[in-house]
Amino acid sequence: MLDALKQQPQDKILMLMQMFREDTRDGKIDLGVGVYKDPTGLTPVMRAIKAAEHRLWETETTKAYTGLAGDPAFAEALSGLILGPSADPARMSAIATPGGTGAIRQALELIRLAAPGATVWLSNPTWPNHPSIIRYLGMPMAEYRYFDAESRGVDAEGMLEDLARVERGDVVLLHGCCHNPTGANLTLAQWQAVIDLMLEKGAIPLIDIAYQGFGDGLEADAAATRLVVDKMPEVLVAASCSKNFGIYRERTGLLMAFGSPEGRAVAQGNLAFLNRQNYSFPPDHGARLVTMILTDPALRADWEAELEEVRNTMLGLRSQLAAELQRLSGSDRFAFIGAHRGMFSRIGASPEQVERLRTEHGIYMVGDSRLNIAGLNAETVPKLAEAIVAVGV
Ligand code: LMR
């Protein structure tokens, strides 16, 4: 049986991680996978997480199973953080999932159960694992324009033109904030136009929100998701705690489904069913830490303060890189780096230039020229800027 297996396509981001590890050159720079690194190159455990782990170690008396949907207190706390007053419990069903990817996977499985023929519309470009999972599940998919290669901003006109072809019941996958891989984001007015179009077409939004707090702040980054949940009758929201709580390997995520109060119990039952089919009970450790932090005022204040430091560090690196590129290139053509938000910016280098950055300069970024701003520090920014200009971007 095993002889019949064929090689699977490799994930571009994970492949790059491997290549970086195997590179023996001193001074190599990893701007590939989306992981925050402090100025010393470490991905730290956040202070509030350490404190919560300590407290949990002292107080946890059992590791027995939670509910199939995970601990309801986690769903309440995290949905409150993301949606504030928009998290209407009468409309919401939710399950804890293994990370944001688990939430996306379960959302897609829910869509396949409810509407097997529905097409899932993805931004071009999007996180490569989106189309990969959809293809694996055998679901129809289509793309809408998103990125304007010239301005490196959002092609809002193209996006609306393409979404005008959406059919009733189709699903539109949107990045709640900090678009991955481009760093270019819709304004709230543009979100409103997308909402109006989805309402007119009868489309269902699936929002992937994995970077809340990395763009313009916790509240601002959630504003678009709240608007969609408030304005639309049915919405799926897949959330990740990997980045903003720095608990990547704990696999902590939440899938929320908003619909009519009458349908809530059945939706909740289906979500729990999907957890049971795929892995039974969801992981609990990270969810418990997040719940503890969000419900304890002192821990929460400390977490918010540290997240704000992380966000400001990234904004500082963006300004430094944009200024350095302006100086070296003598032009404003890299100003978009300062305007992008979140961990990533797509800088618009060709695949050959990305390859040269890696082979000649030891700088690793994804082949579509997505660079992880959080992988930089004050010393590596000038090196990157020189290399970008040297390869002729
Ligand atoms: C990324 O886009 O780099 C992250 O979301 C990590 C991953 O799993 O790909």
pLDDT tens, position by position, 98-154: 999 999 999 999 999 999 999 999 999 999 999 999 999 999 999 999 999 999 999
Backbone CA torsion sign across 216, 222, 227, 228: positive
What the block records as the tokens of 16 is: 């790059």
First to last CA, the chain: 48
- Judge whether 229 and 238 are in contact, CB under 8 Å: no
Average pLDDT, the chain: 97
pLDDT score recorded for residue 21:
96
- The answer, as to whether pTM is greater than 0.75, is yes
Q: Is the model's pLDDT at 161 over the cut of 90?
A: yes
Are 127 and 137 in contact by the 8 Å Cβ rule? The answer is no
- Tracing tokens 């309440």 back to the chain, one arrives at 76
* Integer Cα distance of 229 and 163 in angstroms: 19
Strand (E) or helix (H) holding 240:
strand 235-240
The answer to whether the CB of 388 falls within 8 A of the CB of 325 is yes
User: Is the pLDDT assigned to residue 11 strictly greater than 90?
Assistant: no
Closest C-alpha to 218, from 94, 304, 340, 124: 304
What spacing in Å lies between the alpha carbon of 108 and ligand 1's midpoint? 18
310 CB within 6 A, ligand 1: no
Percentage with pLDDT > 90 across the chain: 98
Residue 41 has pLDDT above 90, yes or no: no
Per-residue pLDDT tens over the stretch 53-84: 999 999 999 999 999 999 999 999 999 999 99
Give per-residue pLDDT as tens, 299-348.
999 999 999 999 999 999 999 999 999 999 999 999 999 999 999 999 99
Q: Is the pLDDT of residue 18 over 90?
A: yes
What secondary structure does DSSP assign to 74-107, as a single string? Answer: HHHHHHHHHHGGG--TTTEEEEEESHHHHHHHHH
User: What are the residue ranges spanned by the domains of the chain?
Assistant: 11-46+304-390, 65-295
CA distances from 223 to 10, 85, 94, 217 (A): 35, 11, 20, 10
Residue 39 pLDDT exceeds 90: no
Is 88 assigned a catalytic role? Answer: no
Distance CA 155, CA 50 (A): 42
What is the C-alpha separation between 33 and 363, in angstroms, rounded? 13
Give yes or no for residue 40 having a pLDDT over 90. no
Catalytic residue among 243, 349, 374, 385: 243
127 is catalytic: yes
CATH of domain 11-46+304-390: 3.90.1150.10
- Which pLDDT band, with edges at 50, 70 and 90, does 292 fall under? very high
Which ligand 1 atom minimizes the distance to the CA of 100? 5
Neighbouring residues of 97: CB distance < 8 A, sequence distance ≥ 6: 70, 103, 105, 106, 238, 253, 254, 255, 275, 282
Rounded Cα–Cα distance for residues 260 and 262 (Å)? 5
Ligand 1 contact via 180 beta carbon (within 6 Å) = yes
Closest of 213, 382, 176, 375 to residue 309, by C-alpha: 213
Can you tell me the distance from the alpha carbon of 129 to that of 11, in angstroms, rounded to the nearest whole number? 8
Average pLDDT over residues 206-220: 98
DSSP string, 257-292: EE--GGGHHHHHHHHHHHHHHHTSSPP-HHHHHHHH
Contact 266, 236 (CB under 8 A): no
Residue 152, both tokens: 């490196």
C-alpha distances out from residue 34 to 17, 45, 74, 210, 374, Å: 10, 16, 24, 11, 8
Whether 213 has a pLDDT exceeding 90, the answer reads yes
CA of 96 to the centre of ligand 1 (A): 19
For 175, phi then psi, to 5°, come to: -90, 120
What CATH number does the domain located at 65-295 have? Answer: 3.40.640.10
Ligand 1: centre distance to CA 365 (Å): 12
Task: Mark whether 303 is an active-site residue.
Answer: no
